[in-house]
Amino acid sequence: MLSLAFSVGESAQIRADFPILARTVRDEKPLVYLDSGATSQKPTVVLEAEREFYTQHNAAVHRGAHQLAEEATEAFEDARATIAAFLGGNSDEIVFTKNGTEAINLIAYAVSNAAFPGSVDGADPAAAARLSVGPGDEIVVTEMEHHANLVPWQELARRTGATLKWISIDEDGRLGAPESAISDRTKILAITHVSNVVGTRNDLAPYVAAAKANNAIVVVDACQSVPHLDVTDLTAADSGIDFVIFTGHKVLGPSGIGVLWGRTELLAAMPPFLTGGSMIEVVKMEGSTYAPPPQRFEAGVPVAAQAVGLAAAVKYLQGWGMDRVHAHDEALTAYALEQMATRPWLKVLGPRDAAERVGSVAFVVEGVHPHDVGQILDDDGIAVRTGHHCAWPLHRALGVPSSTRASFGIYTTTAEIDAMMKSLDRVVEIFGVNS
């Protein structure tokens, strides 16, 4: 058995913290959950944190003057501080959204709103200039992006008249050179830290450097990296990155909450995305002024219970140590790749070196549709993802219409990978694949 970052006892302790892992599925088969890249399971401490908020402190934050409102507000802002520290940032740099998709849309719409008269009045001129996007400007993405980090930029290009360009990937799922798309016309670079399909961990430095040489805004989708890696280098003062986004449900936290970290000067210059209560400063019939960030971007009653649950989730990961979480993931990935390499009828998409990957392995079985593969695995109690994984352009670039993806979490074991491989061998038998 492969040696992982956690001992056998620690792994058992971790799994015991996730109640859902004890259930059975499909005629009382043990659940083998290998779909953490889509959504992670939740430890008891997260469930209890949300329950405790609702049973003891539930009130509208930043609104009432009574004790419950004070307690709810304190819990909400303490959660913001916890998540800021987890990312290596400050509380006023953290905006809560409903998911990562909304966080990216917030940036894209704020940029397009900045073009309207009065939208950036009083803002720092240098920051306001960086938010200006129009005809002749270019927005750069990559061919491996999740649709959430592609479609909003397509729409921004359409609304502003800017041109959308992209950095292509090679047959092994690695990005091409920065200069293939980044130029002196680049205004925004939106790039994933880790691919949600092939698991490629991108070396962001050369792409960020090329973008910053042109004073472009850099947006990093960290939805697939935050559950597995220490990402404080992304928010460091000298990183060159302006925005980092992730979503709570992939990092052991609740659904319904996302996080946008942004540089203070850009957040302060950005016009709001949603308007209404809580995000205002002064309201008159003739017009309104808006609160400073982060409240400017949190219209309405915020996601207080979810924030408390997410803070509990990141504390849980920190309790085990992000270095150990990463080592566990890398060892699992290496083990999966080793087992898959012994099956000639199985093609792995992306890099074959576990050190280049994070969190997932996508593959195709020769002659068998991924949906059929997934159905047989599901019959054996094994949960994986099949399809294009909200990344159609990436699959087209790799020459496959879809794939099967196994993705891992802190609670995943090598025994679960063994179970998947045994089920995949059954796929070959059922479909008569030449092995």
Give the chain's domains with CATH numbers: 8-43+320-431 (3.90.1150.10), 48-318 (3.40.640.10)
- Average pLDDT on 143-152 reads 98
Residue 3 has pLDDT above 70, yes or no: no
Q: What counts of helices (H) and strands (E) characterise the chain?
A: 13, 17
Mean pLDDT of 90-99: 98
Mean pLDDT of the region 251-279: 96
Quickly state the pLDDT bin for 1 (edges 50, 70, 90).
very low
- Pairing state between β 346-349 and 280-284: unpaired
Rounded average pLDDT over 210-221: 97
pTM of the model: 0.96
Helix (H) or strand (E) segment spanning residue 86: helix 67-87
Closest C-alpha among 266, 180, 191 to residue 222: 191
Give the H or E element holding residue 268: helix 264-269
378: enclosing H helix or E strand: helix 370-379
CA–CA distances in Å: residue 52 to residues 14, 307, 308? 22, 13, 10
pLDDT over 80 at 4, yes or no: no
Torsion of CA 99, 102, 104, 105, to 10 degrees: 170
Q: What percent of the chain has pLDDT over 90?
A: 97
Q: What is the DSSP letter of 343?
A: -
pLDDT in tens, 113-138: 999 988 999 999 999 999 999 999 99
Mean pLDDT of the chain: 96
Number of Cβ atoms within 10 Å of the Cβ of 172? 15
Question: CA 365, CA 353: separation in Å to the nearest integer?
Answer: 20
Q: Is the pLDDT of residue 435 over 80?
A: no
pLDDT of residue 63: 83
pLDDT confidence tier of residue 433, bands split at 50, 70 and 90: confident
Q: What residues act catalytically?
A: 390
Nearest alpha carbon to residue 120 among 306, 239, 275, 266 = 266
Q: How many CA atoms lie within 13 A of 176 on its CB side?
A: 16
Max CA pair span of the chain:
74
Residue 262, pLDDT above cutoff 50: yes
Cα–Cα dist 424/413, whole Å: 17
Average pLDDT of span 304-312: 98
pLDDT value, residue 432: 87
